Amino acid sequence: MRIFLTGATGFVGSAITSTLLQDGHHVIGLARSDATLASLVAAGAIPYRGDLTDAHSLQRATESADAVIHAAFDHDFSNFAASCDIDRQAIATIGAALAGSGKRLIVTAGLPPTPGRTATEDELAPDGVQGMPRLSEQTALSFSSDVHVSVIRMSQVHDRHRQGFASYFLAHAQKTGVSAYIGEGNNRWPAVHRQDAARLYRHVLEDGVAGQRYHALTQEGIRQREVAEAIGRRLNVPVVALAAQDAAQHFGWLERIARMDVPASSTLTQARLGWRPAEPSGFIDDIDRAVLAAT
């Protein structure tokens, strides 16, 4: 099968590329630079020059493929609304190009916050929840009457080199000399190993149901205090609990993430697809042995 994959050289996307190639698929990767193009060639993928803002390249690559996986997203938190709009328009372009074709589309999205309970795959993601402008899931599912579209909701993806949002907090703790959490630190983040996430995409590609949402997570909710303590151990810096009123001054733009509470379950995903976690290391394990960036 020829699969057009956006984000094919990214942290998750490169693992998806490797997994699909090992299964005998042909991966068409979107290449926005010479370096990306060379990386795709080295991996054994087929580069297609373009980027998420180039509607023509997205349309042509989509039309040349048997299925599409959208795994790209520009995590520029300094201009997050713009990144979300680029993502929305890219999904709309791909969806329109697939309309009526019967081809599969898999779109990556975030987990919906469900205060006071654990989110399941059957929870609907409301528009603009908690001020979040990312509408990947909503845009993708708007094509469900014409396109075989499935959504993978991504949690904190980790290995030794990157640990989702925790990587930002590691860098912040290196800079400030302390690892902090807010209040009692009982807010929770779900997590998944990078390789387990890549295998989920393969399962959804092969057996995903149109209109269905799937959860890429193997740990339902790690408390923020545990994350801060692991960062403290890794950096050998003090771990401190901040009063709520002091959080913004300490964390800056990271404050909203430091408060995030999004526990979620993948029970339905595992039951519906037969996907099982295979990687031995958990989120805290990979923070404890994280490869640190030079300071």
State residue 8's pLDDT score.
Answer: 97
Select from 62, 1, 10, 59 the least CA-distant residue to 33.
10
Cα separation, 180 vs 228, in Å, equals 6
What digits encode the pLDDT tens for the residues 12-27? 999 999 999 999 999 9
User: Is residue 166 located within the same domain as residue 60?
Assistant: no
Give pairs for 195-200: CB < 8 Å, separation 24+. 195/15, 195/19, 195/159, 195/278, 195/279, 196/277, 196/278, 196/279, 197/12, 197/15, 197/154, 197/157, 198/12, 198/15, 198/16, 198/18, 198/19, 199/19, 199/275, 199/278, 200/152, 200/269, 200/273, 200/275
Q: Is 293 part of a structural domain of the chain? A: no
Domain range for residue 174?
A: 160-189+221-262+280-288
State residue 130's pLDDT score.
Answer: 45
Contact present, 292 and 172 (Cβ < 8 Å):
no
Number of structural domains the chain divides into: 2
State residue 132's pLDDT score.
Answer: 59
Q: Is 35 part of a structural domain of the chain? A: yes
Q: Is 18 part of a structural domain of the chain? A: yes
User: Is residue 165 located within the same domain as residue 284?
Assistant: yes
Q: Is 82 part of a structural domain of the chain? A: yes
User: Is residue 211 located within the same domain as residue 256?
Assistant: no
State residue 131's pLDDT score.
Answer: 47
State residue 128's pLDDT score.
Answer: 54
Which residue numbers in the chain have pLDDT < 50?
129-131
State residue 116's pLDDT score.
Answer: 79
Q: Is 294 part of a structural domain of the chain? A: no
What digits encode the pLDDT tens for the residues 237-284? 999 999 999 999 999 999 999 999 999 999 999 999 999 999 999 999
User: Is residue 130 located within the same domain as residue 196?
Assistant: yes
User: Is residue 250 located within the same domain as residue 210?
Assistant: no
Angle between helices 80-98 and 55-63 in degrees, nearest 10: 40
User: Is residue 166 located within the same domain as residue 39?
Assistant: no
Q: Is 85 part of a structural domain of the chain? A: yes
